[in-house]
Amino acid sequence: MQTFDLEAQGLRALNAALHAQAETLSQANWEVVNAKGSHAIAVGLDAPIEVTVKGSTGYYCAGMNSQATVHVHGSAGPGVAENMMSGTVIVEGDASQYAGATGHGGLLVIKGNASSRCGISMKGIDIVVHGNIGHMSAFMAQSGNLVVLGDAGDALGDSLYEARLFVRGSVKSLGADCIEKEMRPEHLEILADLLERAGADAKPEEFKRYGSARKLYNFDVDNASAY
């Protein structure tokens, strides 16, 4: 494992070294120490490497991630895993606002709570939050799955498209065009897989599913794969 002291060596050098792995893959395992809330740690990765961050991070940690596994042993600031394409991002603590925003793929696991707008405009990412989420989460979410083991704040799924929302706890209020939907066998199967992958101690049968009423948007669900 390669240990990188962020305080001594700097953010630019860290990200340059991680980006270089897309060409050489000379070092698959990295440990970042002295993170101290720094912004943009491990952004834009595009290689099957594992990065362990010791401590909390600032804005946009693991943004635009592709293939890599980024494990934050602390909490994460706004925009963690924003525009994520693939791979896995795990936050042991809490996440600030718009976690997983616009994510196209991969798995984001938040072991604590997530703040407002979690999964805003998500486009295929899977997000599992072990705690609670704040208001306006999954706003304009287009596809993917948001799983919440705790409670959800106001206006969940406002202006939702075709993303699936699974909440075990209470929902303070639903946003425009978001309704509770039937939990069918295929949804239980999807949820069971996500809970297992996220290391979540919960049963699929404990959750309710929410989705779009399809009355707000100009969109033909039969053509969803073309968008």
157, 175 Cβ separation under 8 angstroms? yes
Question: Can you tell me the mean pLDDT for 26-36?
Answer: 95
Q: How confident is the model over 46-100, as pLDDT tens digits?
A: 999 999 999 999 999 999 999 999 999 999 999 999 999 999 999 999 999 999 9
Return the percentage of the chain with pLDDT > 90, whole number.
Answer: 92
Give Cα separations from 206 to 50, 129, 175 (angstroms): 33, 15, 22
Structure token pair of residue 149 = 């083991």
In sequence order, the 6+-apart residues with CB closer than 8 A to the CB of 167 are 148, 151, 152, 156, 207, 208, 210
Give Cα separations from 67 to 14, 21, 75, 207 (angstroms): 18, 11, 22, 29
| Residue 216: per-residue pLDDT | 78
Which pLDDT band, with edges at 50, 70 and 90, does 4 fall under?
Answer: very high
95, 76 Cβ separation under 8 angstroms? yes
pLDDT at residue 110 above 60?
A: yes
Question: Can you tell me the mean pLDDT for 114-120?
Answer: 98
Element (H, E) at 144: strand 143-148
| Residue 47: per-residue pLDDT | 97
74, 56 Cβ separation under 8 angstroms? yes
Q: Do strands 164-167 and 208-212 pair parallel, antiparallel, or not at all (unpaired)?
A: antiparallel
pLDDT at residue 227 above 60?
A: no
Structure token pair of residue 132 = 């609670």
Residue that the structure tokens 């934050």 belong to: 72
| Residue 40: per-residue pLDDT | 97
- Give the predicted TM-score (pTM) of the model: 0.94
Q: Distance between CA 185 and CA 183 in Å, rounded?
A: 7
Which pLDDT band, with edges at 50, 70 and 90, does 225 fall under?
Answer: low
| Residue 114: per-residue pLDDT | 98
Question: Can you tell me the mean pLDDT for 185-207?
Answer: 97
Nearest to 95 by CA among 51, 20, 155, 148: 148
What is residue 20's three-state secondary structure?
helix
